[in-house]
Structure formats: structure tokens, C-alpha cells
Structure 1
Amino acid sequence: MFTGIIQALGTMRPLGGDSWQITSQDSSWSAIMQDLAYGDSVAVDGVCLTVEDITKDGFVATASPETLRRTILGEAVNQGNYVNLETSLRVGSKVGGHFVMGHVDGIGKLIYAEQTATSWEMTFSASDTIDRYIVPKGSIAINGISLTVAEYEPEISQFKVAVIPVTYAETNLRDLVAGSSVNLEGDILGKYVEKFIYFGKENNPVSSESLQNEITPTFLAQHGYL
């Protein structure tokens, strides 16, 4: 489990097979390496990977072809892009963002980014695998970064986040251009709520359409949420 607070930027280098070496020249790299051990979890662009070896330059982890296919890690490798890095949450540590599991729900794309006086406003598209978990003022992980949904337009599956300058400067959000792909993970709380609401309903799979039809302001008011 992670919190979506990025500690360093790194790069991935293939070692053969499904193994990759993650290294960094970032000045904050020591935050990753200071107590890293075999078997630890590290979020790489929001994807939970397991440390299999530690080298003088970084650590080694396995990212299978399936992982590369379902996330943007393959693009990061092929294009030489930086990846965001965060070590797992320790019991008793501060939770600066929100609970991030490192299990990517879908891939989104940057529509546009605009610099304002106080932040960068970035608008992304969302795939249908995560669209139903996006809530205005709720949390979302973008490339492993904990961010708050400022606006959400469900009819076109787009949402906006406001990124403070320090987050923009110290993560790979700064490298995105219109059309760039990103890993998206919805808030785990929304997934449990969905499961509890639909548990036992003839084992029918949940669809975005059924959620929109059944979870209404009236429904929430009747169940004490408003």
C-alpha cells in the first residue's frame, strides 16, 4: 500500500526476460534506497512491483508482458521516460495523500494542461474501467500521484485536477504533452462501496450504466448520505 506522495524519479532498463533495473540520478533517490530490502514493494508510476535484488545503482524488479500491456510502463521504457517512485507505507507513517494500492484500473490520456497563477490545471480522459470511480472532490492516483478531482464530466469521461507547482516540478507530470498516456487508479473506498451495494444481486456484473441509473441523489438521501 502507498499514499501517492512521490519520493523520486527513476528510469527503467531491461535486463533480459521480464526483469528490469530501476535507477535514478535524482537527488532524492536516497529516500528510496535508504532502507530498501529484498521483497519490499515499490510503486513505479503507480504500479506495485516487488524488489528482487538491490544493486549499487538501484534495484531489480519483474514487470511481466501483461503488466507492460495493461499499464504505461512499456511506453516509459520504449521512450526513455522518467517514472515516479514511492516506497510502501510503513505502519505509523504519515498518510500525506490517500491509500493507493498500486493496482492500475485503466489508462487515461492528457487532453490539455494550462498553467495558472497558483497551479497547473490538467484535464484527462478516463477509460470505462475507471470512469465509474471518479467523484468530484474525490481522490485519484495518476502515475501513482495522489490528486484530487476538481471537475468531472461523465458524459465525455473527462476530469480535471489542479497540480501545485512542487508536485508538477518533482514528478513526471511535467513531461506530459497532449495525448500522453497515464496510469489511473481509483480510490479503493469506491470499489468497496460498489461491491457492498451490488452484492447478492443475482451475481450480475456491475456496469457504468446500472450505477448511473441506481445511485441517485434520492437514493443517497434515503440512505443517510445527504
Structure 2
Amino acid sequence: MFTGLIQALGTMKPLRGDSWQITCVSQPSEVIMRDLAYGDSVAVDGVCLTVEEVLKDGFIATASPETLRRTTLGGEQTQQKYVNLEASLRVGSKVGGHFVMGHVDGIGRLLIAEQTASSWEMTFKASEAIARYIVPKGSIAVNGISLTVAAYEPELSQFKVAVIPLTYAETNLRYLVSDSLVNLEGDILGKYVEKFIYYDKPHAKTQDDTSLDDITPAFLAEHGYL
């Protein structure tokens, strides 16, 4: 589990089979490398990978065919671009972003990035499979970065985020151009809510004898939950 607060930038180099060498290149890389050990989890552009070998300035990990298929790590330009790196959350650590699982839901695309007086406004296109978890003012992970949805257009499956200068400068968002692909992970809370609402268990009852089949978005809105 991660928080979506990027700790370093790195590069990826393909090795044998599905193995990759990830090398830290940014100044704060000691945050990643300080106590990195075999078997640890590291989010690479939002994708949870397991450390198989620790190197002087990075590590080796394997990305399965499924991971390469569902994420940008399988793209032809992977070894030319920078990737965001974050070590897994430790018990007692601060949670400054939101709970990011490192299980990417799919690939999105940058439509436009505009600089404002105080931030960068970036608009992304998401697939319908991911868009159903996006809500205004909710959380979303873009290349592993915890961001808040500033605006959402459900009919277009597009959302906008406002990126502060620090986040823009310290992550690979600054290297994105129009049509750049990004990894997207919806908020885990939305997935559990969806599961509970549509779970097919007709005999299950709540404490007030309400069937779980009756708990729909309309029911929640009527009772003040939306």
C-alpha cells in the first residue's frame, strides 16, 4: 500500500524476460534506497512491483505480462522516460495523500495541460471502466501521484486536476505532453461501495430488515448519503 506522494524519479531498462532494472536518478533517491530490501514493494508509476535484487542506486523487479498489458510499463518508450517511485507505506508513517494500492485500473491520456497563476491544470481522458470511480473532489492516482479531482465530465469520461508547483516539479507530470499515456487507479473506497451496492445476495438483510438489493444510489441519496 502507498499514499501517492512521490519520493524519487527513476528510469526503467529492460533486462532478461520480463525483468526490469529501475534506477533512481533524482536527488532524494536516498528515501527509496535507505533500507530497501529483497521482497519490498515499490510503486513504479503507480504500479506495485516487488524488489528481487537491490542495486547500488536502484533495484530489479519483474513485471508480469498482465501488468505490462494493463499499464504504461509495457509501452515502447518506457526506457526513455522517467517513472515516479514511492516505497511502500510503513506502519506509523504519515498518510499525506490517499490510500493507493498500486493496482492500476487502466491507462488514461493527457488531453491538455495549462499553467495558471498558482498551479498547472491538467485534463485527462479515462476509459469508462475507470471513470465510474471518479467523483468531483475525490481522489485519483495518476502515475502513482495522489491528486484531487477538480472537475469531472462523466459524458466525456474526462477529469481535471490542479497540480501545485511542487508536485509538478518533483514528478514526471512535467514531462507529459498532449496524448501522453498515464496509469490511473481509482479510489479503493469507490470500489468497495460499488461492490456492496451491486452484490447479488438477495437473502442478506441489514439491521432494519432492508435487503442489500434495496441499497441503490437512489436509496443512499434519499437517506442523505449522497
Fold agreement, TM-score > 0.5: yes
1:75 offset after TM fit, Å?
A: 2.4
Q: Give the number of aligned pairs.
A: 213
1:224 offset after TM fit, Å?
A: 3.0
1:44 offset after TM fit, Å?
A: 0.2
TM-score by length of 1: 0.90
Aligned twin of 2:19: 19
Q: Which runs of 5+ in 2 are unaligned?
A: 203-215
| CA contact 2:72–2:78 (8 Å) conserved in 1 | no
Q: 1:2 to 1:182 in 2, by over 3 A?
A: same
| CA contact 2:126–2:158 (8 Å) conserved in 1 | yes
TM-score by length of 2: 0.90
Aligned twin of 1:158: 158
| CA contact 2:8–2:25 (8 Å) conserved in 1 | no
1:201 offset after TM fit, Å?
A: 5.6
| CA contact 1:20–1:63 (8 Å) conserved in 2 | yes
Quick one: percent identity of the two aligned structures?
Answer: 78
Aligned twin of 2:213: none
The SS at the match of 1:133 is: coil
| CA contact 1:107–1:184 (8 Å) conserved in 2 | yes
Match runs of 1:136-175 below 5 Å:
136-175=136-175
Aligned twin of 1:186: 186
Cα distance in structure 2, aligned partners of 1:222 and 1:22: 50
1:79 offset after TM fit, Å?
A: 5.3
| CA contact 1:76–1:82 (8 Å) conserved in 2 | no
| CA contact 1:76–1:83 (8 Å) conserved in 2 | no
Aligned twin of 1:31: 31
1:129 offset after TM fit, Å?
A: 1.4
Q: Which runs of 5+ in 1 are unaligned?
A: 203-213
Question: Which segment drifts farther, 9-18 or 137-146?
Answer: 9-18
CA RMSD, aligned part only?
1.4
Aligned twin of 1:132: 132
Aligned twin of 1:209: none
1:14 offset after TM fit, Å?
A: 1.3
Matched, 1:215 2:217: yes
Deviations 1:45-92 (A, max 9, x none): 000000011012311100122211110012275451000000000011
Matched, 1:41 2:17: no
The SS at the match of 2:159 is: strand
